[in-house]
Amino acid sequence: MENNRSSYRMSAFLVTVFAHLLAISIATLGLYWLIKLKEGVAFTSHVKIQIFNMHPLLTVLGFIIFSGEAIIIYKGIPATRQTLKLIHLMLHLIALLTGTLGIYAVFKFHNELKAGHAYTLHSWIGLATICLFGLQLLLGIVTFLFPGAKSATRARFTPWHIFTGVGIFFMAIVTAETGLMEEFMFQKLHKGQEALVVNFIGILILMFGISVGLLVVIPLKRN
């Protein structure tokens, strides 16, 4: 039993390190793409694409990276359960704020161009994701914190909290991947450096999602 526990701990450690490296790679490659290859980022600019570029930057940082880090925090830091809950909550609050700003950016971009809103599968899944994300966060706070529900209620709710959290996270993954596909449709990317960068970002996001899912199922128990 002790050997199995040590093996699970080592597995969790290695996968956690790999997931962190993927998160750093996604952020770095995303910044390179948006700043070096797509004219930069800004909330206010006469170059309208800079406003749009805030959308993929902030939504990926929020709903993919910060949200993913919030999920794997339980396998990555040797801290008390209460401390991990607070870190989990703070990362999710940062994720929600960052992602919401990203959604605001794309609506602002469409308004300034007088274009329509929410007419693609990407936008439908994305809006569903942010709504479910906010609801999940609210239910989590009510159930587990300030002051939280009874222990029996928390025990019954925990598996559903984990399941829906992972489900919403993978909805965010799907949203990101469909958004990257839209780049090929709307920007007519077929080959060249930008197309390669976009594809690599998509692969890294997928690998990060798989890593997070793997960490969720590793049966690591704390002493």
pLDDT band, residue 148 (cuts 50/70/90): low
Does the pLDDT at position 223 exceed 60?
no
Task: Classify residue 222: in a domain, yes or no.
Answer: no
- What value does the mean pLDDT of the chain take? 90
pLDDT of residue 138: 93
Concatenate the DSSP letters of all residues of 130-168 into one string. Answer: HHHHHHHHHHHHHHHSTT---HHHHHHHHHHHHHHHHHH
Does the residue 70 lie in any domain? yes
CATH number for the domain including 100? 1.20.120.1770
- The number of beta carbons lying within 10 Å of the beta carbon of residue 203 is 14
The answer to whether residue 71 sits within a structural domain is yes
140 is in which domain, residue-wise? 2-217
141 occurs within a structural domain: yes
Number of domains the chain is built from: 1
pLDDT digits 0-9 by tens, 41-67? 999 989 999 999 999 999 999 999 999
Query: Rounded CA gap, 146 and 221, in Å?
Result: 25
Rounded-to-integer distance, Cα 148 and Cα 191, Å: 53
Query: Can you give the pTM of this predicted structure?
Result: 0.91
Segment 182-186 shows an average pLDDT of: 83
**Domain assignment of residue 80, yes or no:** yes
